Amino acid sequence: MTLKEALSQIQPTDQTAQMLAQRRWNSIAKPLQSLGLLEDTVTMLAGMKHGRNVKITKPCVVVMCADNGVVAEGVTQTSQEVTAVVTKNFTTGATSVCRMAQVAGAKVVPVDIGVARDVDAQGLLVKKIAYGTKNMALEPAMTREQAVAAIEVGINTVIQLAEQGFDLFATGEMGIGNTTTSSAVTAVLLHKSVSDVTGRGAGLSSEGVKRKIAVIRRAIATNNPDPDDVLDTVSKVGGFDIAGLIGVFLGGAVMQLPVLIDGFISSVAALCAIRLCPHAAGYMLPSHVSNEPAGKLLMHELNLQPFLTCNMCLGEGTGAVAAIPILNMACQVYNDMSTFSEIEIEDYQPLE
């Protein structure tokens, strides 16, 4: 499916189903709104699924893996080779998100969308656009055509997984330097100062953060991305992992299935997806708020309130996967708990 086709197929969520889900919540034998955000999230799920089968039975986490040429500017603590190592580790279960996904009952689906070298690993989906992006401090990170192609990888990956029965998509990523690209995209799209949206990433020193900010400023000045054109911004100062995740969000919306936002990089991709198609917002669920400086800012911009505040900034989809058991618990209450009438007690009434 092309990006143009996907954008034309995304429909708003079912408001009638959401209203009926809220009515169901109000009938359940417990204090009104006592599960707070979890009730709101299950109500959103009902809208996505038109009120049918309001539960999660087969979740997965799609991890977009790609390298970023801007690493050459010394904006990271580790070298680019780490991306390939961790990408392979996703296939053997030797990463944080893999261990967490075991507990959550979620399959980890790693995608090589732009790792700087070939990774030979069983279970890795190889959909490489290029061997990493170019150095955005000197030139555009990628062409507009490559940005579209990367988004289409995300869209079609979700469609293929949905056809295999997966019904929730947590978003993850791996790519040394991707907090640098994410800060750049955030600064452009939200018209914010680079220093306000840039953090330490994977452990930079204070001096390293200053260098990172300077490099991002240079990249924006060099490429002059258009804040009113998502594809222009992503192609000039983004990354293949960000573009792939944009596609995951759009693909979930096409299939009318929920997509869990993870942390900073994932939130940036969610914002881009909404800018491309506002209706896609109805299929996005928050998980946690990233400890990166722009974490809260992006959640506010997305008008979402996450369940978890754990000061996490690991990436990989760890925050999104951590939310899956909580979401399953909420669905269990919604589907299986008795109503006031069934246990023959008077309903709770809203306070005046």
Which residues are catalytic, by number? 316
How far is the C-alpha of 70 from the C-alpha of 133, rounded, in Å? Answer: 8
Distance in Å from the first CA to the final CA of the chain:
50
Alpha-helix runs per DSSP H in 10-136 = 15-27, 37-48, 81-92, 96-104
Q: What is residue 237's three-state secondary structure?
A: helix
Locate 67 and state its tokens. 């390298």
Pairing of strands 125-126, 284-285: unpaired
- Residue with token string 């399953």: 328
Report which of 93, 9, 100, 15 is spatially closest to residue 59, judged by C-alpha positions. Answer: 100
Decide if 258 contacts 283 (C-beta within 8 A). Answer: yes
Cα 22 → chain centroid: 26
Decide if 69 contacts 136 (C-beta within 8 A). Answer: yes
Q: What is residue 64's three-state secondary structure?
A: strand
Report which of 48, 315, 7 is spatially closest to residue 171, judged by C-alpha positions. Answer: 315
- For residue 139, the one-letter residue type is E
Locate 246 and state its tokens. 């944009």
